[in-house]
Amino acid sequence: MRTSLLIDGDLVDGGAGGFDTINPATEEVLGQVADGDVDDMDRAIAAARTAFDDTDWSRDTALRVHCLRQLRDALVDEIEHLRSITVAEVGAPVALTYGGQLQMPVDGLGYIADLAESYEWTTDLGMAAPFGKPTRRTVVREPCGVVGAVTPWNFPHQINFAKLGPALAAGNTVVLKPAPDTPWCAAEIGRIIKDRTDFPAGVVNIVTSSDHRIGAQLTEDPRVDLVSFTGSTATGRVVMAAASQTVKKVFLELGGKSAYIVLDDADLPAACAAAAAGVAMHAGQGCAFTTRLLVPRAHYDEAVATASAAMSGIGCGDPADPGTLCGPLISSRQRDRVEGYLTLAIAEGGWFGCGGGRPAGRDRGFYIEPTVIGGLTNEARVAREEIFGPVLVVLAHDGDADAVRLANDSPYGLSGAVVGADQNRVDWVAARLRTGTVNVNGGVWYAADAPFGGYKQSGIGREMGLAGFEEYLETKLLAKGVQ
């Protein structure tokens, strides 16, 4: 396997040659991916700028809708090929590719095409007479221009399409820079766009690269009007600072350390099992996973034991096995990072209810056992910092108000959950959580038409839904004098 860059409508080699993409479950090389350099990124930005400024793409809604539906249909046609790539390169359990890892993001392109087709691009504000001058006012929504999209490796299809779909539907042109850990997933999108759709040259450009600095070009280049970034909060700060030099719009979807609150009238075993499964899924590599389990202090030991039993039963396995929920971490670097936090947990006074290291009998692959940590307070670094591994920290609370206090005592505010028998109490807690999404008694917040994003240091703006579409629009007021 060898992939190409998509620049100005052509599939081309990377200026820096190629680099290996690795199967995280086996550590085997899957193939060579085109390695873009600074000149490739410069040409991609120039192509996107020209396509926006000198063609009718931004004004031709029907063409945009047509191209997005073509892309969705082509992706559906090749879904099994894409599924195999996702399992091999991302290490995503195959069962998850029928949901958020692949199938749902692809289907979501249909939603965004329908939205663009029915969207009210203009709003009549009616007549007014400021300073005595009769004036008809119209609000017009227009695309921002060139969008630089920088995406991570954990859910590559979900995040690539959550940026490409609305940005293109809104009339922007795009330069996509995917993570170097999962470039094959993005490169296949480029191939399909080139071979099977009518997207005009330069509207979509995809630059895979082993060099993280290539993405920085998008934040610094004045030809780029908006940067849409998903990744760590630390990198998000860098993106925000760099973008400020040209005062470009910024969308940031960043980290999380979300709380799963169990009230004292909840079904404790069911809640603990659900929390464990939520963190073990995809080896905990999800920014919105609820990685802090807050339980009543009187039932703390029972909660740790129950969550540990559930985690131990999940285990970790081959992502190609339909029964696997927890596969490998993405890389040896990420495994080292998670192991560092496990060491820190013991140093901070915690203990393992289960897990705590590499699974026995797996000499290949970047695996970590699903782990439950007890004995810590919310002040511990392991309870406050994003680990991005299959690690659940169990904390004790002293009632509903204290649970809210602990949940909100975090620099993040991305997600959360609350379960209990008394719906009034559950609603009281949910209303006070400072997070962008809340799972209330098992409700599912993920869907193409539902906005996703965070409070505080979890980001700026919303992705998906109407709110996510409108992130890629500017607002213009036309004021026409009437004689």
Show which residues are catalytic.
Answer: 253
Beta bridge pairs of residue 317: none
SS3 call for 113: helix
- 374 vs 293: CA distance, rounded Å: 10
- 412 vs 429: CA distance, rounded Å: 17
386 Cβ partners below 8 Å, 6+ apart? Answer: 232, 233, 255, 256, 257, 287, 291, 412
Spatial contact of 450 and 462, defined as CB atoms under 8 Å apart:
no
For residue 317, which of 291, 281, 352, 341 has the smallest C-alpha distance? 281
If one counts every other C-beta atom within 10 angstroms of the C-beta of residue 447, the result is 13
Spatial contact of 330 and 154, defined as CB atoms under 8 Å apart:
yes
458 Cβ partners below 8 Å, 6+ apart? Answer: 233, 253, 254, 255, 256, 287, 412, 413, 414, 435, 436
Spatial contact of 162 and 468, defined as CB atoms under 8 Å apart:
yes
- 142 vs 18: CA distance, rounded Å: 38
| Amino acid letter, 305 | A
453 Cβ partners below 8 Å, 6+ apart? Answer: 253, 414, 436, 459, 460, 461, 462, 463, 467
SS3 content of the chain, % helix, strand, coil (to 5): 40, 20, 35
Range list of H helices, 244-371: 268-280, 300-314, 332-347
Q: How far out from the chain centre does Cα 195 lie?
A: 27
- 195 vs 186: CA distance, rounded Å: 15
- 75 vs 287: CA distance, rounded Å: 26
- 106 vs 205: CA distance, rounded Å: 19
- 478 vs 231: CA distance, rounded Å: 37
